[in-house]
Amino acid sequence: MADQSEKPEVFELNNGSMHVKISNFGATILSLSLPDKQGNLADVVLGFDSIEPYVNGAAPFFGCIVGRVANRIKEGKFTLDGTEYTLPINKPPNSLHGGFKGYDKVIWKVAEQKNGENPSITFKYHSDDGEEGYPGDVSVTATYTLTSKTTLRLDMEAVPENKPTPISLAQHTYWNLAGHNSGNVLEHSIQIWGQHITPVDENTVPTGEIKPVKGTPFDFTSEKKIGASIHEVGLGYDHNYVLDCGEEKSGLKHAVKLKEPSSSRVLNLWTNAPGMQFYTGNYVNGVVGKEGAVYGKHAGVCLETQGFPNAINQSNFPSVVVRPGKTYKHSMLYEFSVE
């Protein structure tokens, strides 16, 4: 548990061309400012001007790291090594993003800060045995680094200390490459290096099937506008893609390319996670954010690399169980450019 004397603070990473504000509350990206093709800076993440609304629960997971297990666990139940665990049902009828007080709603300790050309900040959190119903103590670290002029890297690690436990962390930033206050993201084009999705039931839990996207509105294997077929998928996209066809570099595979036509800003995301939740902000509804901007439906897009949702209950999904002596590792590389 966080020591009560620690309070939410804001830290900055700045390398001269990219400027990121991050809080120890939820290891949350509050803002990320980047140049467009003319050199004009814009903040491309949804959020609030101060830390208070995050602490007061006004954010629909803006910018934070979620855990111990990202996404949904069916009916908040799982069995591990013969023991049944029951989790809080914070998104009925399921448990979502770690429960009522997941890693997004706690204060992380600042373990290290580095300045200079590649500034970084490392946060640590100790998750207790039984916290939100999960087994065993887990030590979690998250390091944000500006690895080049326009690249942000996030390295997450988690070590179970005394019991096996499911672990699957995700970074839940909502992106709008035109600027956080520029309306919806339906004109952004996107390419996802995933030839399959894990289809879901009426409660947004995967059925266990792994389904090809070819010939469906879910096919983003070549670049297309987010809005092109969105009307065919109900409220919008909120689906886990199987990252099965991206080229690799430095141990990470290409997950997604997001491009915004008016600013020419591009985000290429690389990861070592097996899946990615592609979520088009379907439930964002009149949230008053930075500079008084009103965020409506589809105001941002989340690209949450992750273990597959409900993997703890689906034996055909890659396992998210981590045992003592092993380390969970999840890295994400956000490469920004203009083209």
Cβ proximity of 103 and 68 under 8 Å:
yes
For residue 259, the Cα-to-chain-centroid distance in whole angstroms is: 18
The owner of tokens 């839940």 is 172
Nearest CA-CA partner of 165 in 274, 64, 78: 78
Q: Which amino acid is at 182?
A: S
pLDDT of residue 2: 47
DSSP-assigned beta bridge partners for residue 172: none
pLDDT of residue 297: 98
Write out 126-147 in H/E/C secondary structure: EECCCHHHCCCCEEEEEEEEEE
Q: Which of 97, 131, 132, 172 is catalytic?
A: 172
Angle at 108 between CA 53 and CA 120, to 5 degrees: 100
Residue 241, both tokens? 């893609």
Residue 17, both tokens? 């061309």
Using CA atoms, how far apart are residues 300 and 91, in angstroms rounded to an integer?
A: 21
304 given a catalytic annotation: yes
Using CA atoms, how far apart are residues 170 and 67, in angstroms rounded to an integer?
A: 7
6 given a catalytic annotation: no
**For 53, which DSSP code?**
H
pLDDT tens per residue across all 339 residues of the chain: 445 568 999 999 999 999 999 999 999 999 999 999 999 999 999 999 999 999 999 999 999 999 999 999 999 999 999 999 999 999 999 999 999 999 999 999 999 999 999 999 999 999 999 999 999 999 999 999 999 999 999 999 999 999 999 999 999 999 999 999 999 999 999 999 999 999 999 999 999 999 999 999 999 999 999 999 999 999 999 999 999 999 999 999 999 999 999 999 999 999 999 999 999 999 999 999 999 999 999 999 999 999 999 999 999 999 999 999 999 999 999 999 999
The owner of tokens 């993201």 is 185
Instruction: Give me the phi and psi of 131, to 5 degrees please.
Output: -60, 125
Q: Is 77 in a helix, a strand, or coil?
A: strand
Cβ proximity of 18 and 146 under 8 Å:
yes
Cβ proximity of 112 and 121 under 8 Å:
yes
Residue 224, both tokens? 């297309």
Using CA atoms, how far apart are residues 156 and 27, in angstroms rounded to an integer?
A: 11
Q: How many residues does the chain have?
A: 339
Using CA atoms, how far apart are residues 58 and 53, in angstroms rounded to an integer?
A: 5
pLDDT of residue 6: 86
Q: Which of 180, 260, 304, 330 is catalytic?
A: 304
Cβ proximity of 121 and 293 under 8 Å:
no
pLDDT of residue 5: 65
**For 9, which DSSP code?**
-
